[in-house]
Amino acid sequence: MSTHARFLDTPGFEWESYFREAFDVYARELLTSSFNPQVLLDEVIPELVSDEGIRHRWHRSFHGMVERDASHTIKYGNYWVNPHQMQLLKRAVEGRQLAWKARQLRHLPVISVPGDSPTSAEDVAASRSELLTEYKRRTGVHTNAAIYNARNSSIHKPEFYHWLNGKLPSTTVTAMNLERFLRSDELPKPRK
């Protein structure tokens, strides 16, 4: 699956719109699959958009290399890119990512919480600490950093500590994904 700038509805001088429209094209097609939408929206689709942007030269300073060199140090999609390009792409598609995540939230089932579930932040924090300790015992993971730096945990450091301290609501997608991850025996996979 690929896109081309001439098929997008954006004038050529609005290069950021190419990235946004391409993100929408991929999201419409890929989010109908049963694949994890969080991974699609945060990793797969941005990499596909990056590949298309490089291949079709949507922006003069957005380019990639087939092989790593001194300035192209991050493997993203099929190309090696420089860190500046990563920030450029992330800023260009951030709004589209959030919009598609909001659409996905509307389709999640409502989860009923049993009456005896912890209600205070302290109770929630204690329950989460037990879940984290049990996960570390089962998997041999020793640090929190290994978890929040993992691409398959679906969480970043600030959210992780909000979750651990009971401040991140249990009904958020982030909390549900992390708790599902911690209940599994899956080991953390480092981010690239």
Q: Could you read off the pLDDT of 10-54 as tens digits, one per residue?
A: 444 566 777 888 888 888 888 776 577 888 888 888 888 888 888
- Give the distance between the most distant pair of CA atoms in the chain: 58
**Model's pTM, two decimal places?**
0.49
With a cut of 70, say whether residue 9 has pLDDT above it. no
d(CA 105, CA 44): 19
Q: What is the mean pLDDT of residues 63-84?
A: 87
Identify the pLDDT of residue 114.
47
Q: Could you read off the pLDDT of 117-163 as tens digits, one per residue?
A: 446 778 888 989 999 999 999 999 999 999 999 888 888 888 899 89
Identify the pLDDT of residue 110.
45
Q: What is the mean pLDDT of the chain?
A: 79
Residue 166 CB coordination number (10 Å): 19
Residue 154 CB coordination number (10 Å): 20
Q: What is the mean pLDDT of residues 89-105?
A: 82
- What are the helix (H) ranges across 31-172? 37-39, 45-55, 83-106, 121-139, 144-148, 157-164
Q: What is the mean pLDDT of residues 184-192?
A: 84
Task: Go through 50-89 and write b for each residue having 16 or more CB atoms within 10 A of its CB, e for each that does not.
Answer: bbbbbbbebbeebebeeeeeeebeeebbebbbbeebeebb
Q: What's the burial of 192, exposed, middle or buried (CB within 10 Å: 0-12/13-18/19+)?
A: exposed
d(CA 120, CA 73): 45
